[in-house]
Amino acid sequence: MDLYALTIHEARELLDRGEVSSTELTEAVLERIYALDNEIKAYLTLTPELAMEQAAEADRRLAAGERTPLLGIPLAIKDVLCLEGVPTTCGSRILENFIPPYDATVVARLREMGAVFLGKTNTDEFAMGSSTENSAFFTTRNPWDLTRVPGGSSGGSAAAIAADLCLGALGTDTGGSVRQPAALCGVTGLKPSYGRVSRYGLVAYASSLDQVGTFGKDVVDAAILLQAIAGHDPRDSTSMDLPVPDYLAALKAPDVRGLRVGVPQEYFIEGMQPEVEKGVRAAIAQLADMGAEIVEISLPHTEYALPVYYLIAPAEASANLARYDGVRYGLSVAAKDLWETYRRTRGQGFGPEVKRRIMLGTYALSAGYYDAYYLKAGQVRTLIKQDFERAFEQVDVIVCPTSPTTAFRIGERIDDPLQMYLADIFTISVNLAGVCGISIPCGFDDQELPIGLQVIGPAFGEERILSLAHAYQQATEWHKHRPSLPIPA
């Protein structure tokens, strides 16, 4: 049996029955990483000593009779989330030597539950990007075709799941960064509603949009991870003080009969890859066969989502990134005076995309332009949010493509920011509206590259999207396909 290929819920049964130890499981995944990650490049930092220690501790807890969902399960953490004592670079030179003295709340929760941390995964610098090519260190490769991007910005986590280099992973999603790489790597990726999960210890990109999300080999695993990290945190005032439902109970009796499934006409656009449309339409037909009621809907302000996002996200980023001044932590390039120190530190520490966003954001926030750009963008954001509120009066969930294309080639869009930004055209509205979404595999194009189906639910309606996505996976096999990679000896 290839232990690294297990899902979290499969591994759980073997661990609980004492048929496999966490030490054996963790070793198997680490071996797989050593054999394959030179090619895939999913991880920025590996933490094998920490992992083996945590695995040994998990085995002690298992032997003492503890039975909890993530005890002894090897996971990967996107490198924008603080893991105490381990470099947290955000894919940036400016934080290359930053070692956080504390855990992000999501990391602390997983640690208490006895999860095993394999390492930190690659990301576009400060999560700005859709391909991991903006990482200051290297580009992660798509396990389905090593000449292609894994998507981004959580491309390292998505590729790690697709190549069986971890059992589950955390990512973050500000405009699509969990769902889009999940689609391009053929795995399951969930972005919870804004406020569902604590952002404490997540290095901020755009604070009104950022949310921690989960990656799994299937919906059950994504739900297990969400269960672990969801809920109020007094350290993040935007995390909602609401009860956390039992997400796994919502998966018990998968049934979509009578469910009203909305298909937004604005999400099938000219210029999208025809095979993506075909794959998504086939998935919708499958849902209809399973008894769902398909309803044509409209989200009329969709066309404004991209421009609104590229005002709000850079504006917030320009403010959040002001803290990297070479004084308190991170890179510091000494110079003759303080201003020159700032200039050189930031000039050398940030990559081109981050600088572009800081300039865009600073411009949008500057006196004289604020009302025309930032304020206006906020108003249109409200219209986009209202589109979803109206839609959810009519339907229970919305389905559409996750990404307009399958994985593109490394280098293909790097010099064309607009093309790169278009990768998130179907995911960005979800963040602007604060609702939740999940991407699940629903087919392949003629290059054997995975296609993602996005299921969107109302704010704090994660059970709905998990349950529909799970029902689809019960009826189909797409999520079980794996890229053919050399098996380690």
Residues marked as catalytic = 78, 153, 177
Q: Give the Cα separation of 409 and 435 in Å (integer).
A: 31
Whether residue 305 contacts residue 384, with contact meaning beta carbons closer than 8 Å, is answered with: yes
Does 121 interact with ligand GLN (rule: CB under 6 A)?
no
In the complex, minimum distance from the CB of residue 61 to ligand GLN, in angstroms, rounded to a whole number: 35
Q: How far apart are CA 143 and CA 149, in angstroms?
A: 9
* Interface with ligand GLN in residues 276-305 (CB under 6 A): none
Phi, psi of 485 (to 5 degrees): -125, 150
Q: Nearer Cβ to ligand GLN, position 176 or 279?
A: 176
Contact pick of 74, 155, 176, 181 for ligand GLN (by CB under 6 A): 176
- List the structure tokens of 389: 């509120």
* Sole binder of ligand GLN in the list 150, 175, 450, 458 (CB under 6 A): 175
In angstroms, give the least distance from the CB of 449 to ligand GLN. Answer: 19
Q: Which stretch binds ligand GLN (CB under 6 A): 3-11, 167-175, 439-447, 475-483?
A: 167-175
Q: Contacting ligand GLN (CB under 6 A), which of 54, 89, 121, 177?
A: 177
On the question of a cis peptide bond just before residue 153, with omega within 30 degrees of 0, the verdict is yes
Helix spans in 350-461 (H): 352-365, 376-394, 417-422, 428-433
* 225 and 127 Cβ atoms separated by less than 8 Å: no
The reply on whether position 320 binds ligand GLN by CB under 6 A is: no
Place of tokens 């504006």: 315
Question: Does residue 130 touch ligand GLN according to CB under 6 A?
Answer: yes
| Residue 174 touching ligand GLN (CB under 6 A) | yes
Mark the segment that binds ligand GLN (CB under 6 A) among 27-35, 175-183, 213-221, 436-444. 175-183
Q: Which stretch, 67-75, 110-118, 170-178, 468-476, contacts ligand GLN (CB under 6 A)?
A: 170-178
Q: Does 128 engage in binding with ligand GLN (CB under 6 A)?
A: yes
Q: Specify whether the CB–CB gap between 414 and 420 falls below 8 A.
A: yes
- E strand map for 142-210: 168-172, 188-191
129/443 with CB nearer ligand GLN: 129
Place of tokens 């219209």: 383
Distance CA 132, CA 320 (A): 21
Which residue among 153, 188, 198, 439 contacts ligand GLN (CB under 6 A)? Answer: 153
Q: Is 73 in the site for ligand GLN (CB under 6 A)?
A: no
Size of the site for ligand GLN (CB under 6 A): 13
> Taking a C-beta distance cutoff of 8 angstroms, is the pair 39, 14 a contact?
no
Is 218 a residue that touches ligand GLN (CB under 6 A)?
no
DSSP state of 173: -
Chain positions contacting ligand GLN, by CB under 6 A: 127-130, 153, 173-177, 205, 313, 424
